Structure 1
Amino acid sequence: MDSEVRKRTIVAAGEGRAVHLRAGERVSVVDIEGGQVGDVFAFSADDLGEYVSAAHTRTSIGRLFPRIGEAFMTNRRRPMLTLVGDTSPGHHDMLIAACDAERYRSLGNPEHASCAENLHNALGLLGLSVDTVPQPVNVFMRIPVAPNGDLTWLPATSAPGDAVTFEVEIDCVFVVSACPMDLNAINGGRPTALGVNVSAPLSVEMEK
């Protein structure tokens, strides 16, 4: 049975939002309209210098992306989030860097909003800041790897209401950027909003 949602946050198209999470809670990133990529970041609540690391996660699990029940590791090799649910077709990415001003400058649009900027802005709303932008967990992003190593940017196949759910292992600051990219195919040329739903810890639910 799904846990009761205790907090809902809408991440407007092309923007970012951050929420504080406690160990044991569950958090879902929901594709509201379908076909929208979300850049997910997570930082230890005790030290923002510890964060979910795509490289350390790949090393730990021996895959490009975790299976259900496997954990996303921090840069200090501790589990921070465990993947516990996915109602989407399962296309996600941990290879592609967050879009930033330089990326859009190379595409001829230097004033374009970016996931890197969204991360800084979202943390700023909580009075927080970081010096670097970690490699994000790109939920719903479809970047197949060809046998020759080539990458292809394809439209997300997530349907309206599809969600990816994580269980929180360490108190953290969880950030989602509804990727503003509209200069390639990943968001179908039209970025849309995402939802962030936070549920009570399972132990709390079982006591009700």
Structure 2
Amino acid sequence: MAMETVPARRGRAVRLMAGQAIRIVNTHGTQVVDTWAFNAADPGEFLSMPHLHAALGSVFPARGDALVTNRRRPILMLEEDTSPGRHDTVIAACDVHRYQSLGCAGYHDNCTDNLQAALAMIGFPATLCPPPLNLWMNIPIAADGRITWGEPLSRPGDHVVLRAVMDCVVAMSACPQDMIPINGRDCTPVEVQYEVIA
């Protein structure tokens, strides 16, 4: 498969057979990508951040880690990561309510709606929005449990490779957050690229 684009503020989804992988590239180095994975045969089984915390004993997945579902089974392997490795597993996907709480009066693009649109594009059943793996989202956690909305530590061209352990659907959203600096100091969402590899 050739390199494809997740447009700024939008989502895309792809089907992977067990053994295939997806390479997601942070083209500009500043873009957070909310990422989900679902069992291709059962949308009720999905990549789960709370279960991942228990499996890893950490909130930060690292190269070589198995990423597990809500049934505690590996669905993806984090095979490569050229970035400093700071990815968030704590924060929920943004939605219209999040932007309202930040002062947005009208509709705002959001990752929750991007997930549903991306799944619809490939004919996968709509589902509730599980907490995503927020690739390159930098959320420092202090000793007292407080969090900070940090800027990404990634660089242009950094990428991750996620290898499917089971037949699955991987969905991505180039997060449209433009009200706090999680997509860089200038708060400007941009596109990312991806490709399916053997």
Structure 2-normalised TM-score? Answer: 0.95
The correspondence for 1:16, drawn from 11, 15, 21, is 11
Aligned-residue offset at 1:79:
0.1
Residue number in structure 2 paired with 1:205: none
2:52 corresponds to 1:57: yes
Q: d(CA) in 2 for partners of 1:68 and 1:34?
A: 19
Q: Which residue of 2 aligns with 1:198?
A: 196
Match of 1:203 in 2: none
Q: Given the alignment, which residue of 159, 168, 179 partners 2:155?
A: 159
Structure 1 pair 129/105, CA: closer, same or farther in 2 (3 Å)?
Answer: farther
1:106 alignment partner in structure 2: 101
Residue of structure 2 aligned with 1:119, choices 98, 106, 115: 115
Deviations 1:67-101 (A, max 9, x none): 22111100111100011111011111100000001
CA contact (8 A) 1:53 1:134 kept: yes
Q: Name the SS of the counterpart of 2:3 in structure 1.
A: strand
Q: Could you say which residue in structure 2 is the equivalent of 1:78?
A: 73
SS state of the match for residue 120, structure 1? helix
The Cα offsets for residues 120-176 of structure 1, whole Å up to 9 and x where unpaired, read as 000111122333100000000000000111000011121111001111101011101
Q: Which whole-Å CA distance do the structure 2 matches of 1:8 and 1:20 have between them?
A: 15
* Aligned-pair CA distance for 1:54: 0.5
Aligned-CA RMSD value: 1.0
Percent identical across equivalent pairs? 45
1:41 Cα deviation from its structure 2 partner? 0.4
- SS of 2:93's equivalent in the other structure is coil
Partner of 1:170: 166
Per the TM alignment, residue 45 of structure 1 is displaced from its structure 2 partner at its CA by 0.5
SS of corresponding position for 2:58: coil
Q: CA deviation at 1:23?
A: 0.6
When residues 7 and 47 of structure 1 are mapped into structure 2, their CA distance, relative to the original with a 3 A threshold, is farther
Q: How many residues align?
A: 195
1:147 equivalenced with 2:128 (yes/no): no
Match of 2:183 in 1: 187
In 2, the alpha carbon distance for the partners of 1:34 and 1:60 equals 29
Q: Any stretches of 5+ residues in structure 1 without a counterpart?
A: 1-5, 201-208
Question: So what's the TM-score if we normalise by structure 1?
Answer: 0.91
User: What is the SS of the residue equivalent to 1:105?
Assistant: helix
Over 6 Å off, 4+ runs: none
